[in-house]
Amino acid sequence: MLEVSNLGVRYGRHIALQGVSLRVEKGEISVMLGANGAGKSTLLKAVAGIVPSEPGTQVRMNGRAISGLEAHRIVEQGIALVPEGRGVFGDLSVEENLALGAFAKRARGTKQSTLQLIFGLFPRLAERKRQQVRTMSGGEQQMVAISRALMSRPDILMLDEPSLGLSPLLSKELFRSLKTIAESGYGILLVEQNAKLSLKIADRGYLIENGAIAGEDTADNLRHNPAVLSAYLGGRASNAPISTALPIALGDVKAIADSIKNIDRSGGH
Ligand code: ATP
C-alpha cells in the first residue's frame, strides 16, 4: 500500500537519508529501529511531505505517486503522522483535538464510526471528552495524539517514538493498542528506540544506520537475532553499528551503509 523507494533527504550539505526503500501493507506493522540521529524522524517527515525529498525519490500510496505533494494533500491520500512529542493542542479539550483531526475531506462522513473505534480502543478518552488535554497524563496525551491522527481516516498511520517518556506498563498498553489498530485494517509505520516491545507487535522490521537501511527482516527473525539484541540492549538503541554483525543479505544497501561508516571512521563527512 505504501511503497517508498530510493528516498533521499538532505539538510543543506548534510545527507540525512540515502537510498531508503520500504513497504507498509494494510493491516501490518512495520517498525524502523535505529539510534539517535540515524534519520528515523526525517524518514517519517519526508513521507508526510513535511521535509522535501531528493530527486529520484519515489513514494507511492495505493499505486499513486505522492512524493513532492504538499503535506495536506498527502493526508488526503491516506497517510497520517503522529509526530514525536505528540503535537496535541494542550489548551483544547479531547473532543476539540479530535475534531481538528477530522478536517481532511476523506474523513467527512466517517466521523461517528471513527469515534466509535477510538472510544473502543481508549475508553478513558470517552470518559474525559471535555478535559483540557494539558491536564492529562503523558499516556493519555499520546492516546489523544493517535486518535487525532485516526480521525483523518488514514490507510497508513505513522508514529514517531510514541513510547518516549511513558512508563514500561503504559508503553506495553500503547503497543497493544497499536496492534489492535493494525488488526482493524490500518497499516502502521512505527519509528522506535524500544526494540523489544516494538518487534513483539510488528510484522516487519527495518534497521536504519547513518541514513541508510542496514537490514530488514521479519520482526520475529530480528527479535531472535543476537546482533540485534546486543545492539539494542535493554530495549533501547545503543549507538553501536549493527549492520556489520547482521547475517542478512543486504546487497547494495549494506555497501552504502558500510561506506558511510568508513567515511565516519576516517573523520570525513
Ligand atoms: P532521534 O532518535 O534522536 O530523534 P532520528 O533517527 O529521528 O533521531 P533525525 O531527527 O531524522 O534522526 O535526524 C537525522 C540527522 O539529520 C541528524 O544528524 C540530525 O542532526 C539531522 N537533522 C535533522 N533535522 C535537521 C534540520 N532541520 N536541519 C539540519 N539537520 C537536521
Nearest to 129 by CA among 100, 95, 88: 95
- Read off the pTM: 0.85
Residue of 36, 40, 42, 238 with the most ligand 1 atoms within 8 Å of its CB, for mutation: 42
Consecutive sets of 10 residues in the chain, 269 residues long: mean pLDDT of each? 97 96 96 92 96 96 94 95 89 94 84 91 93 93 94 96 90 93 96 90 95 94 85 54 47 44 47
Residue 197 lies in a domain: yes
Residue 104 lies in a domain: no
Residue 131 lies in a domain: no
- How many angstroms separate the Cα of 55 from the Cα of each of 58, 61, 67? 9, 18, 10
- Written in H, E and C, the secondary structure of the chain is CEEEEEEEEEECCEEEEEEEEEEECCCCEEEEECCCCCCHHHHHHHHHCCCCCCCCCEEEECCEECCCCCHHHHHHCCEEEECCCCCCCCCCEHHHHHHHHCCCHHHCCCHHHHHHHHHHHCHHHHHCCCCEHHHCCHHHHHHHHHHHHHCCCCCEEEEECCCCCCCHHHHHHHHHHHHHHHHCCCEEEEEECCHHHHHHHCCEEEEEECCEEEEEEEHHHHHCCHHHHHHCHHHCCCCCCCHHHCCCCCHHHHHHHHHHHHHHHCCCC
Strand partners, 32: 191, 206
Residue 125 lies in a domain: no
Q: Is 113 left (phi over 0), alpha (psi -120 to 50) or beta?
A: alpha
Cα of 36 from ligand 1 centre, angstroms: 8
Distance CA 241, CA 234 (A): 16
> Which CATH number belongs to the domain containing residue 234 in this structure?
3.40.50.300
Contact present, 50 and 42 (Cβ < 8 Å) = no
Residue 213 lies in a domain: yes
Q: What's the structural domain count of the chain?
A: 1
Q: Which residue is closest in CA terms to ligand 1's atom 19?
A: 37
Q: Which residue is closest in CA terms to ligand 1's atom 10?
A: 41
Full residue range of the structural domain in which residue 214 is found: 2-78+181-266
Grid coordinates in use for 30?
Answer: 512495520
Distance CA 185, CA 27 (A): 4
Residue 234 lies in a domain: yes
Nearest to 246 by CA among 229, 263, 234, 261: 229
Return all residues near 127 (Cβ < 8 A) that are at least 6 apart.
none
Which residues sit with their C-beta closer than 6 Å to ligand 1? 11, 14, 16, 34, 36-42
Residue 6 lies in a domain: yes
Ligand 1 atom nearest the C-alpha of 34 is 6
Residue 253 lies in a domain: yes
